[in-house]
Amino acid sequence: MIREAGQLLLQVRAISKRYGAVQALSRMDFDLAAGEVHVLFGENGAGKSTLINVICGAVPPDEGEVSLRGKQIKLRDVHDARSRGISAMFQEFSLAPHLSVEENIYLGDEPKAGLWLKRGVRRHGAKEALERFGFDLNPSTMVGMLSRAQQQMVEMAKALRTGPDVLILDEPTASLSEKETETLFSLIRDLRIQGVGIIYITHRIKEIKEIGDRVTVMRDGKSVKTVDAGSTDHKEFVELMIGRTFDNFYPQFTCEPTEERLAVENLSTVSGHVRSATIKVHAGEIVGLAGLVGCGKSEIGRAVFGLEPILSGSVKHEGTEIKRPTPRRMLDRGVVYITSDRHNEGLMLLRSTKENISLSALSLSEYSRASWINRGAEQQMAQSVAKRMKVTPLDLSKPVSAYSGGNQQKILITKALARDTRVFIFDEPTVGIDVSARVEVYNFMKDLITAGESVLMISSDLPEIINMSHRVYVVKDGEVVDHMEKSEIAEPRLLNAFFSGTKEVA
Amino acid sequence: MNRRDSDKRSADATSWLRQAFIHLGILPLLLVAAILLFAIQEERFYSSLNIFNVVRQTTFLLIVALGQMIVILTKGLDMSMGAVVGFSGVVGALAMKAVLGVAPDALLLGGIVAVLAGISAGALAGAFNGIGVSYLNVPPFMMTLGTWTSLVGVSLLLTKGMPLTGVPDEFMRALGYGRIFGLAPPVLVTIILVVLVYALLNRTTIGRYFYAIGSNLRAAKLSGINASGQMFFAYVLSGTFAGVAGVLFIARTGSAEALNGSAYTLQAIAACVIGGVSLFGGIGKVRDVLLGAFFITILTNGMNLIRVESYIQSIVLGLVLILSLVADQFRMKLLK
């Protein structure tokens, strides 16, 4: 196929996609020219993944159209898309760990004679593909034995083998070292010269500068703006990403911190995600724990609650050192961790609202004696805390799956209210919920600290960190790299710490 | 006009059926269909003697199914229950023989020892499963499958492959064919167990936690629940229930054999699943297991009465099981 740089390759018009109560894409427009790297930039949940899923045929859109070289197409599945020249490389690898490198490269498209596999052809083709892209891998190695970076090479070879015109890369550098990233970038540059159109998703502004041609910033399932990568600066990108329209929904309040509630000192976890972190949380304050996705901030909260094995360092609650924290022990001390993953780790989706709310409190003597449940007391408590948290429409017997995302999040928080909780560790408290539920969550936090409770708010949402925190710790690569008092909290300083891990303002 | 009315009526009936299906599942429909079918085909089916038979036959299955249900609620499975029934019968009978060998007249003591030994043997086998599943992280299916095979071997070793006979008639009367408050002892025991399990699952924290760990294990752990301990206890309970069934079995048949009760494993799982206990954990009611066990017994009993060949019977049972699973999937889709 002849590819000419600048020629319009792919066009997406007014694509919408809805998942249950969530509008993942709403009338999204996007286009891609041959020989360009077009970056998709936006927060988690902005709709980037859904968009590329539509483009690569994995998800059918509810409405809107996709055209390839001016011709409207309807993609049946990923295979169909691939045969038309659209190939995707996902962040979560689509590799079979127990198959070899070559088997994976040809998976779903094996060279065959009748029912018989042509193993020689496959071996040869895989070898050739690996060599062409400069990947030093043995085609017969089992993929599960490879490092993450090597697996990524396999994924890449798989995506490139068919010589696609459109290549989708979803955060390809997330697990690569500096050197591997360089190799990847030079490969991308080669492909660009060959006229391949590349859709590139990243959270790293540095990469946009280095490899991107155009950038489309997404927010709330829409395209906010498409800009030139070279002539747009750091600050503009972030402003486009987070938007300024919602500033006013943060409640106004002042923190008056008193005694120390929680102290984490030189904490390191066995997993290596947290390294020698020190943070303190006082009564009556909201402490923000900020950083990029995957920087280890969440693991600090999890380690305090006993969900991440601790290697060294200490966790102190109200001055008492807790040698081996477990959820049971921490709950009994009035410390709760409210997970960011409400579906997998927070709620029993098919059980009733009442059972979900009372689950962690049920063993208290108010609600059970010798394990016999006091159902009246349980019902009354569930009713009153769910009301306080404004779960609507409240029906305690309804399964949690019947509520919207925002109400599910409120039910998750309500669980903490069922006990006498003094320290709330929120992990991404507003992830995937709508604006009105957000406002309620923020107001709830405000009420908590007014009542003298403590809040540790782990968040990747920058405006949330800026507007809600009394103090902020910034985490990068598992280390606390910066700490700001209320008066010092500012976006440039935060971003600088996020990306470069230093305190100086760039 | 008339046509439209009848259309409307049939649409109402369809939507009513649909609602009934969503709320109750397919089991009540199957149960009613089976009862009607057999009652029309064979009048002996609804004779009081046969009804009594059905109730008595259901007891054993129901006891095992209750234990199985608890395990399935935790997203587990106990494949060894049938083998535990045989094993605890053998242990009970051996213990009784030992007592009577020393003191031939100590019938009461012998009986009590037999009951305690049999039930403890069951609990022990359950504890073995529990350790494997909850502390050593062996997948429940494989762990209990291993226990099943090994336990049959142990029972065969203990009995040298022969049935143990010579159970005193007094024991058989007391726990088998006698009457307590006008009820056959197995029926009475079953009623007590149904009430206990109902209370356990609906009124205690232990029961609530079974549902919780089956529904979302990680959420349960984050809520401070001792998930390993709970899971261990679930298997101890299923073993204990199999032990009770094993002891009652010797009282009914007068002999103990390694392979006694081996059919109960699959039948009990079928009773649970047909009753709507989800193999994915966290969902299921005692009432539904009760109906499930009755349905399977009625089906077998009815087919016997109208002289369906036993080979055909097992084909029918298998197909009904699959049908109910398919219907359940469908129902879940409608629920969402």
Per-residue model confidence (pLDDT) at position B190: 95
- B227 touching A (Cβ < 8 Å): no
What DSSP line would sit under A340-402, residue for residue? Answer: S-IIIII--TTSBHHHHHHTTTTTSTTTEETTEE-HHHHHHHHHHHHHHTT-SS--TTSBGGG
Q: Nearest chain B Cα to A368, which residue?
A: B205
- Tell me the shortest Cα–Cα distance from A368 to chain B, in angstroms: 7
- The verdict on a CB contact (< 8 Å) between A373 and B203 is yes
Structure tokens at A241: 């990403």
Domain check: are A416 and A269 in the same one? no
What is the pLDDT averaged over residues A80-108?
86
Interface contact B208, partner A, CB < 8 A:
yes
User: In chain B, which residues have their Cβ closer than 8 Å to the Cβ of A349?
Assistant: 215-216
* Structural domains of chain A, count: 3
Strand bridging mode A471-476 / A479-485: antiparallel
A301 in a domain, yes or no? yes
ipTM of this predicted structure: 0.83
User: Cα A78–A80–A82 angle (5° rounding)?
Assistant: 70
Structural domain that includes position A467:
260-334+422-428+451-506
Give percent above pLDDT 70 in chain A.
95
* CA–CA distances in Å: residue A399 to residues A210, A347, A395, A406, A419: 49, 10, 9, 15, 21
Note whether residue A305 is domain-resident: yes
On chain B, the residues whose CB falls within 8 A of the CB of A347 are 216, 219
Residues A85 and A22 in one domain: yes
Whether the CB-CB separation of A280 and A456 falls below 8 Å is answered with no
Asked if residues B35 and B286 have their Cβ atoms less than 8 Å apart, the reply is: no
Chain B residues within an 8 Å CB radius of A375:
203
Asked whether residue A67 falls in the same domain as residue A212, the answer is yes
**What secondary structure letter does DSSP report for A251?**
P
Q: What is the structure's pLDDT at A293?
A: 78
Is residue A149 domain-shared with residue A29, that is, in the same domain? yes
Asked which of A215, A242, A269 is the last residue of a domain, the reply is A242
Q: Does A322 share its domain with A462?
A: yes
Same domain? A401 vs A470: no
Residue of A nearest to B223 (CA): A360
The answer to whether the CB atoms of B219 and A347 lie below 8 A apart is yes
- Chain A residues with beta carbon closer than 8 angstroms to that of B224: 326-328, 331-332, 360, 363
Give which of B198, B201, B208 to mutate to test A binding, by max A Cβ within 10 Å. B208
Token digits for A166? 């459109």
**Of A327, A345, A355, which has the smallest distance from its Cβ to B224's Cβ?**
A327
Is A351's Cβ below 8 Å from some Cβ in B? yes
Q: Do A332 and B215 touch (CB under 8 A)?
A: no
**What CA–CA distances, in Å, run from A247 to A243, A253, A332?**
9, 15, 37
Contact across the interface for B223 and A327, Cβ inside 8 Å: yes
Task: Considering only the beta carbons, identify the residue of B204, B282, B336 that sits closest to A351.
Answer: B282
Distance CA B245, CA B252 (A): 10
Annotate A183-222 with DSSP letters as a single string.
HHHHHHHHHHHTT-EEEEE-S-HHHHHHH-SEEEEEETTE
Using the Cβ of B334 and the Cβ atoms of chain A, whether some distance falls under 8 Å is answered with no
- Tell me if A196 is assigned to some domain: yes
Contact at CB, A373 and B215, closer than 8 angstroms: no
The answer to whether A289 and A297 have CB atoms below 8 angstroms apart is yes
pLDDT for the residue B1: 45
> Do A322 and A381 sit in the same domain of this protein?
no
Where is the domain boundary, A402, A421, A440? A421
- Chain B: residue nearest A418 by CA? B223
Q: Is residue A1 part of a domain?
A: no
Interface contact A373-B336, CB threshold 8 A: no
Note whether residue A97 is domain-resident.
yes
Encode chain B (336 residues) as per-residue pLDDT tens digits. Answer: 455 555 666 667 777 777 777 777 778 888 888 888 888 888 888 888 888 888 888 999 999 999 999 999 999 999 999 999 999 999 999 999 999 988 888 889 999 999 999 999 999 999 999 999 999 999 999 999 999 999 999 999 999 988 888 888 888 888 888 888 888 899 999 999 999 999 999 999 999 999 999 999 999 999 999 999 999 999 999 999 999 999 999 998 888 988 888 889 988 998 998 888 888 889 899 998 999 999 999 998 999 888 888 899 889 888 888 887 788 777 777 765
Across chain B, the runs of DSSP E, i.e. the strands, are none
For residue A49, the domain's CATH number is 3.40.50.300
Q: Are residues A318 and A345 in the same domain?
A: no
A-chain CB neighbours of B226 within 8 Å are 328
Q: Which residues of B touch A376 (CB under 8 A)?
A: none
In the predicted model, is pLDDT for residue A1 greater than 50?
A: no
- pLDDT category at A157 given cuts 50, 70, 90 is confident
* Sheet containing A197-201: order of strands: A86-89, A166-170, A197-201, A37-42, A214-219, A222-228
Q: Fold for domain B25-335? A: ABC transporter involved in vitamin B12 uptake, BtuC (1.10.3470)
A218-249 confidence digits (pLDDT tens): 888 888 889 888 888 877 877 777 665 545 67
Tell me how close the Cα of B214 comes to any Cα of chain A, in angstroms: 9
Is A388 found in the same domain as A316? no
- Pick the last residue of a domain from A421, A441, A460: A421
Task: State whether A362 and B205 contact (CB < 8 Å).
Answer: yes
Contact call for residues B260 and B243 (beta carbons, < 8 A): no
Whether the bond into A393 is cis, omega within 30 of 0: yes
DSSP characters over B27-63: HHHHHHHHHHHHHHH-GGGGSHHHHHHHHHHHHHHHH
Q: Which of B223, B226, B335 to mutate to test the interface with A (most CBs of A within 10 A)?
A: B223
What b/e readout covers B25-34, taking b as 16+ CB neighbours within 10 angstroms? bbbeebbeeb
- A345 and B CB contact within 8 Å: yes
Q: Which of B219, B224, B283 sits opposite A345 (nearest CB)?
A: B219
A247 occurs within a structural domain: no
